[in-house]
Structure 1
Amino acid sequence: MKMKLIGVAAMVLATGAYAQSSVTLYGRIDNGVSYRTGLPSGHLFGTETGGWGESWWGLIGSEDLGDGTKAIFQLESGINTNTGGMNNGGLFGRHATVGMSNSKYGTFKLGNLGAGFLTQDSWDLDPQEMQAYNIATLDRGRVWEQAGNGFEYTSPNLNGLTLKGQYALTNTVGNWNGTNGGPGTDPSNLGAPQGRVDGVKAMYNNHNLELLAIYDEVRDRNGQFSNVYAASREAMVGGTYTWGPLKAYVGYQHLSAPQATLQNQGLTATAVTGTLPGGVTGAPTAVDHEWVGVNYTVSPFLSVTGGVYHANANKGNGNATLYSLGAAYNLSKRTFLYTELGYVTNSASSNVGLGNGYSDYYGPNTNEGGTSGAPNYGRSQFGAIAGIMHMF
């Protein structure tokens, strides 16, 4: 009997050794102030949430299953720290996944991929690291797309190469690509129903060199590519190279939406009569976007960033150029101060603003009830932002 008890105790101890688990609470809070000129109704000075990056909190955990395999989960919620409200469409709109990870075979997740949709991995190519004025500015928030009902696989590191694939279902009876009707999506309704979403990513790291390629598809609720800035195909390539304290960036993005129409952009024929500038022949079905930039580490406490971004839309919708300059100063390992300046110029038939698509919709400023924060056609816009980020 004594030997049996010893054997049972040994089995329990062995099981406990393999079933080690951990749960971590984490997050970050970002608040600041901003100033913007060139708005249709004048200038704006106000508080800002997420000027350097969105505020969030979350839980992440793992359980050791043995033989290099772990069960993993992540729950993450975006926060509007101006109001205390939730971002990203729900309590855990940023992430709600569970899966398995193995050091040899890679990582598999399923659930709400949310802000983990791989187009958001493009921050690796952004000299401003997704601050307020960044690669999302000229594509009106296209890189902020999200995905629910999803599956994700990430390979292990293969001699510097890492691959990732994602596929998100619509969960709609009889409609693989859409959600049985309704208007198309746009960057202002993250978390709302959308059509099928999928993508692949390849990243290569070799000492000072990093190369990245992304291809993804986001369909609207009708299963179509109807809005180049929201429901479209995206191809992105670029790289970075580091020389000591200096890191250089270069990137290219192509957006394609062959089914785009003015109506899919939220405009009706009567609403646009006499309001679109000369030369515009319809909603853009393609946008080409290029950028270069640098990040310079002045000291362990101070870094300076700068970038130039240029985008051109077809169908006569013109081109825009963004110039940005930023700085961050570390007060500690978890707290830093930041500031960024942005200046966007537009050709005569373009009116891209600094609102990343959320407050400066495509089309004349009477679109979306006249709430647009974009400049008028052919005009420029200047923005400045400063704030503090704390991580826990």
Structure 2
Amino acid sequence: MKQLVMGLSAAAGCLLATSAFAQSSVTLYGIIDVGVQYASNAGGHAQTQETSGMFNGNRFGLRGDEDLGSNWHALFQLENGFNGNNGTFGQGTSASGSTAAVTRLFGRMAWVGLKSPWATLSLGRQYDFMYDFAPIAVSNYVGSFMHRPGTANALLGNNGSTADLDRVGGARVDNSAKLTSTAVGGFTLGALYGFGGQAGAFSNGTTQSFGLKYQHGGLLANAVWTNLKESNALSSYRTYGAGARYQFGPMRVSALYTNSTWTATGDRVDTIEFGAQYLITPAFSVAAGYFYSKPNDEKKNVILQGTRNQVGFTTTYSLSKATSVYATVDYQRAKHGYTAQIYTLSPANTDHQTMVGVGLQHFF
């Protein structure tokens, strides 16, 4: 009898030890952002419409974490993008390397990974390291209208990613493996490789991305390089940049530089931007951003024609920890006779364009 009791106790101890590290969690999260915007000039006419994602892209997702023991974790993330004003998919477009139309259930992210004490390895559809600039970019202060002109799809191919010319708004890479180190002394290193999947041509259509991040106290600084090879490997679309953000008391400021180059033609675009936010109260903030983008050959540049200057102002009031209202104003001027086009708006028929918007967003 004593042996039986001891055996049952040992078995119970094993079960308890197993349950001690085999803990798992799945979190449902998301953002719903819908508002009304006014454009001063959309093809020669003023335009007022309801729009989705003026400040943050609409999304819902599932995030999972299973404790495997010894500081190892199994992770996954599935994130869907949608249009809040009509319920349609946000990234339901052609897949990388394919001309066939697809409907993406999880167009923003779909990956699974392992986290060790030294690094995290993730596999699937995920962002390259240019997206690490998102907390620094002016769009972080004054909404998605301060993203770069949406001209990159013609060169990069539309796979449900951002059309930003330097990928800062969030370009996803299908069929990718991403390795991110654990922070050491504030420094984090990262590397991503996106497989092209072409038989007999391993490097065609591939993506390579490398990132270095430093974070300590109120300082966040990043340096990133990304290269996307064409499917025929004759040319590449390369982006790189460096930026920093600093928080001191109620004030936050940032600066960012990026370069985008199309090697087939030698065309490039240099972008510089500055942003600032001030918390008047914990619930009420004001922010401003400035954006400058210059192509090396304005008349023939296939990435962007015409130097652009844009300023934006936003005020946000939090009704609760999860819900806020905001108002935003953006103004863009294109130089040397080119027409202005604020991100996501229809092009103007003049060299300037103004957008005014109000919106409501909820985080869950």
TM-score by length of 2: 0.85
Contact 1:288 1:312 in 2 (8 A): yes
Relative distance call for 1:176 and 1:375 in structure 2 (3 A) is farther
d(CA) in 2 for partners of 1:309, 1:203:
23
d(CA) in 2 for partners of 1:203, 1:244:
22
Query: Match of 1:93, as an amino acid?
Result: G
Aligned pair partner of 2:134 in 123, 126, 134: 123
- Is 1:383 aligned to 2:348, yes or no? no
d(CA) in 2 for partners of 1:333, 1:386:
19
Written as runs of structure 1 = structure 2, the 5 A alignment for 1:1-392 is 2=4, 3-89=6-92, 90-102=104-116, 104-113=117-126, 116-129=127-140, 131-137=143-149, 141-142=164-165, 143=167, 144-178=170-204, 195-225=205-235, 232-260=237-265, 285-316=267-298, 317-356=305-344, 373-376=346-349, 379-392=351-364
Please say which of residues 141-150 and 130-139 is displaced more in the overlay: 130-139
Contact 2:67 2:74 in 1 (8 A): yes
Contact 2:77 2:109 in 1 (8 A): yes
- Look up the SS of the partner of 1:5 in the other structure: helix
Relative distance call for 1:173 and 1:36 in structure 2 (3 A) is same
Shift of 1:138: 7.6
d(CA) in 2 for partners of 1:101, 1:146:
21
Q: Deviations over 1:172-212 (max 9, x none)?
A: 2123344xxxxxxxxxxxxxxxx212211111122232211
d(CA) in 1 for partners of 2:14, 2:268:
62
Relative distance call for 1:318 and 1:137 in structure 2 (3 A) is closer
TM-score by length of 1: 0.79
Relative distance call for 1:222 and 1:381 in structure 2 (3 A) is farther
Query: Match of 1:214, as an amino acid?
Result: V
Query: Match of 2:347, as an amino acid?
Result: A
Please say which of residues 6-15 and 27-36 is displaced more in the overlay: 6-15
Query: Match of 1:207, as an amino acid?
Result: G
Shift of 1:296: 0.9
d(CA) in 1 for partners of 2:280, 2:148:
26
- Look up the SS of the partner of 1:119 in the other structure: helix
Q: Deviations over 1:77-101 (max 9, x none)?
A: 1111122111123101111111111
Shift of 1:224: 4.7
Query: Match of 1:250, as an amino acid?
Result: A
Contact 1:128 1:326 in 2 (8 A): no
Relative distance call for 1:387 and 1:223 in structure 2 (3 A) is farther
d(CA) in 2 for partners of 1:351, 1:156:
46
d(CA) in 2 for partners of 1:175, 1:83:
42
- Look up the SS of the partner of 1:39 in the other structure: coil
Give unmatched runs, 5+ long, in structure 2. Answer: 93-103, 152-162, 299-304
Query: Match of 2:112, as an amino acid?
Result: V
Please say which of residues 205-214 and 330-339 is displaced more in the overlay: 205-214
Q: Could you tell me the percent identity over the aligned residues?
A: 28
Contact 1:132 1:340 in 2 (8 A): no
Q: How many matched pairs? A: 329
- Look up the SS of the partner of 2:132 in the other structure: helix
d(CA) in 2 for partners of 1:92, 1:44:
32
Contact 1:127 1:305 in 2 (8 A): no
Contact 2:31 2:56 in 1 (8 A): no
d(CA) in 1 for partners of 2:45, 2:235:
35
Contact 1:177 1:222 in 2 (8 A): no
Query: Match of 1:345, as an amino acid?
Result: R
d(CA) in 2 for partners of 1:201, 1:331:
36
RMSD across aligned positions (CA): 2.0
d(CA) in 1 for partners of 2:207, 2:327:
34
Shift of 1:62: 1.1
Shift of 1:171: 1.7
Shift of 1:341: 0.8
d(CA) in 2 for partners of 1:351, 1:107:
45
Q: Deviations over 1:235-284 (max 9, x none)?
A: 11111223321111111111110214xxxxxxxxxxxxxxxxxxxxxxx7
Query: Match of 1:339, as an amino acid?
Result: A
d(CA) in 2 for partners of 1:327, 1:224:
46
d(CA) in 2 for partners of 1:135, 1:83:
23
More strand by percentage: 2
d(CA) in 2 for partners of 1:208, 1:64:
30
d(CA) in 2 for partners of 1:247, 1:344:
24
Shift of 1:7: 2.3
